[in-house]
Structures are given as structure tokens and as C-alpha cells.
């Protein structure tokens, strides 16, 4: 539906997060009126001018959906860390599972003519669980840990609302997201980039052997909004969203060190070399060792990643270099 000013209304959970921020920025540029649910805003994080901020948890999401009657709902808010799921599984299930059904139930409870035209729910590649091969959308969901299970449960719940109640819900299963302005210090790339930008050694929680498929955040936002445009015909489907480039943690760290060294070279020949990363002896508990995605279904809809890994890491490091106190 449109707001009082005639603009279409989008409701975004997790709007102050990495993907939520990218989607909110893009929607604002495209003329949408964005209603942004924000539970925790990290220092310095800002919403675009004109966005309506709703502070609170997913209980407030339902109230906001009923008040603003959005035509687009992007449910991107979640407890997003594997390790946190082991430390507090109840909170992880509360946020990721209950939070999902609260948002979907609010959409379902609207009058038939006032329901959203598209609902995008962010699942994760973690929902698949361990696999020796690249995941396709036909790969069974076989999660093990609390975080992985919470995302699989939310994935199933979301698709059930499409099948049972006719909601135009589409699920995204993204690879590991990264990009500028990620203020979560527990994620690999912001931690490493921010430490190198300050001349400090990155402190790694593993040996660097784990591998992931990496996806620049702007490409993830483009995928979500493409699927939103076609939600009616794709309702009940899930789509893998991968950047097409798989790399180990060590390879990511080495690339960032190389970017940092190149950047330091612009400061003159006496600039100090980047400090050496410090790795741990073992891998963190509960992490899937290797993951990659087959995103050919999404390619078939006309999407493709536009920012390669080297360019994305360079953009990301440059942002942290110009914002040295963000993760201090």
C-alpha cells in the first residue's frame, strides 16, 4: 500500500544491520517510504533520511505492520552468529523462529486486500547443514547447531505461510555477507579489516582452513529486491544467493593483508607493513567446515553478482580505513 504521501511503504526488520541497511538505502533511493524496525543499533549506525524508525523487538513488528500496511516486507532481522547460538540457544530460537512467525502472522492477519504484495524472509546457507557438495535448493535441510536449526525452522515456517495462507513469501539463502559499514565485530571480515586499518594484528578464532562462499552486500540486496518484484509468481520458493567465489578464511585474511599493504604503500616508503594475523590452534565449535552454493536458479531470473571478491574486499577495507574508530 501507499503512505499518506503517495509513496509505496516497505517494512524492514534488521534495518540497522548489514543487509537491512543496504536494502533500506536502496529502497529509499527508489522512492519508497521505509518503516525500519531497529532493536539494537550499533554506535554510529544511521538510517537514511526520511525513514520511519520503530524501536523494539518483533512484538513491535506486528504492531507496525498493522499500522503502516506495507506493500513490501523484508524480514532480515535475526540473531546472526553461530557462536551465539551455542551460548544462548533459547534467545537464538526466540529471535529467529518466533520472530519469523510473529512477522508472518501480522501479515496474514491483515485484511485480504491490505496484505503485502511481497514478503522476503532471509534464511541462510547454514540451514542446509554440512555437505560435501555445493548446495542446490533441492538439498535437504539437515542442520545441527542451534543457529543453523533456527534458520532452517524459520525457512520452513516462511514457506508454510505461502503454501497454507497464500502469502507471497520468498526465502533467500545467502552465503557469507560482507561489505562496508558492517559494525558487527564478531564477523570475520569487519574484524580483520578494522584491525589492519588500525595497524593491529587480526585475532582469528580458528586455523583459517574453513571455506565459505562470499557475497558482497549490495549484490545480496539486489537479489532480495528482484525476488520481491516477482514474489507473486515465486511464492513459496527458496533461492540460493551466492557470490560465486569460494575462499578459505586464511585466503580472505591474506587478501585483506595484501590490500592493507598496498594501502600503506600510498603513505610513503617508511609506512609500517601490516601486522601478521594470529590464528588459533583449533576450529570454533559448531561451525560447518566448508560451504558453497549453486545459485543457478537465481541466475535464471536475471540476477548475477556484480562485485567480485577482490574488489569487494578492497572497498570494505577502504571503508574501515576511513572510519578507524568504528570497531575500536
Is residue 90 in a domain? yes
Distance CA 247, CA 212 (A): 6
Tell me the CATH number at 40.
3.40.50.720
Is residue 294 in a domain? no
Is residue 149 in a domain? yes
pLDDT (0 to 100) of residue 83: 85
Is residue 150 in a domain? yes
Please report, for residues 104, 108, 223, 275, the alpha-carbon distance to residue 116 in angstroms, rounded to integers and kept in the order given. 10, 9, 19, 50
pLDDT (0 to 100) of residue 325: 81
- Collect the ranges in the chain with pLDDT lower than 50: none
Beta strands in 33-175 (DSSP E): 33-38, 52-55, 72-75, 118-122, 169-174
Is residue 319 in a domain? no
pTM: 0.94
Is residue 168 in a domain? yes
Is residue 43 in a domain? yes
Q: Indicate the burial class of 29 (C-beta count within 10 angstroms; 0-12, 13-18, 19 or more).
A: exposed
Is residue 305 in a domain? no
pLDDT (0 to 100) of residue 328: 63
Distance CA 77, CA 16 (A): 9
pLDDT (0 to 100) of residue 162: 98
Distance CA 89, CA 221 (A): 28
- Which is the catalytic residue, given 128, 135, 147, 320? 147
Contacts (Cβ under 8 Å, ≥6 apart) of 307: 216, 218, 219, 243, 315
Structural domain tally of the chain? 1
Judge whether 279 counts as a catalytic residue: no
pLDDT (0 to 100) of residue 115: 95
User: What is the domain range of residue 102?
Assistant: 9-178+215-244
pLDDT (0 to 100) of residue 42: 62
- Give the DSSP per-residue string, 289-327: SB--B--HHHHTTT----S-HHHHHHHHHHHHHHSTTTT
Distance CA 152, CA 312 (A): 28
Amino acid at each position: 500500500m501507499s503512505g499518506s504521501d503517495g509513496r509505496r511503504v516497505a517494512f524492514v526488520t534488521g534495518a540497522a544491520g548489514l543487509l537491512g541497511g543496504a536494502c533500506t538505502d536502496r529502497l529509499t533511493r527508489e522512492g519508497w517510504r521505509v518503516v525500519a524496525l531497529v532493536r539494537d543499533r550499533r554506535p554510529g549506525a544511521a538510517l537514511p533520511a526520511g525513514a520511519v524508525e520503530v524501536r523494539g523487538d518483533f512484538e513491535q513488528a506486528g504492531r507496525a505492520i498493522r499500522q503502516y500496511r506495507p506493500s513490501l516486507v523484508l524480514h532480515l532481522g535475526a540473531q546472526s552468529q553461530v557462536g551465539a547460538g551455542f551460548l544462548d540457544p533459547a534467545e537464538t530460537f526466540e529471535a529467529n523462529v518466533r520472530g519469523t512467525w510473529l512477522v508472518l502472522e501480522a501479515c496474514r492477519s491483515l485484511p485480504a486486500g491490505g496484505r503485502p504484495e511481497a514478503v522476503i524472509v532471509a534464511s541462510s546457507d547454514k540451514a542446509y547443514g554440512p555437505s560435501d557438495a555445493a548446495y542446490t535448493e533441492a538439498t535437504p535441510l539437515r542442520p545441527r547447531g542451534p543457529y543453523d536449526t533456527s534458520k532452517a525452522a524459520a525457512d520452513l515456517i516462511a514457506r508454510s505461510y505461502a503454501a497454507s495462507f497464500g502469502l507471497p513469501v520468498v526465502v533467500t539463502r545467502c552465503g557469507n555477507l560482507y561489505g562496508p559499514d558492517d559494525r558487527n565485530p564478531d564477523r570475520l571480515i569487519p574484524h580483520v579489516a578494522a584491525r589492519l586499518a588500525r595497524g593491529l594484528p587480526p585475532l582469528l578464532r580458528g586455523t583459517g582452513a574453513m571455506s565459505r562462499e562470499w557475497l558482497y552486500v549490495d549484490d545480496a540486496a539486489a537479489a532480495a529486491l528482484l525476488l520481491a518484484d516477482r514474489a507473486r509468481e515465486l511464492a513459496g520458493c527458496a533461492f540460493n544467493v551466492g557470490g560465486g567465489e569460494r575462499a578459505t578464511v586464511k585466503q580472505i585474511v591474506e587478501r585483506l593483508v595484501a590490500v592493507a599493504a598496498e594501502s600503506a604503500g600510498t603513505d610513503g616508503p617508511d609506512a609500517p607493513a601490516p601486522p601478521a594475523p594470529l590464528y588459533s590452534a583449533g576450529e570454533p565449535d559448531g561451525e560447518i567446515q566448508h560451504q558453497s552454493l549453486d545459485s543457478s536458479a537465481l541466475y535464471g531470473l536475471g540476477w548475477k553478482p556484480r562485485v567480485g571478491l577482490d574488489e569487494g574486499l578492497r572497498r570494505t577495507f577502504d571503508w574501515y580505513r576511513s572510519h578507524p574508530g568504528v570497531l575500536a
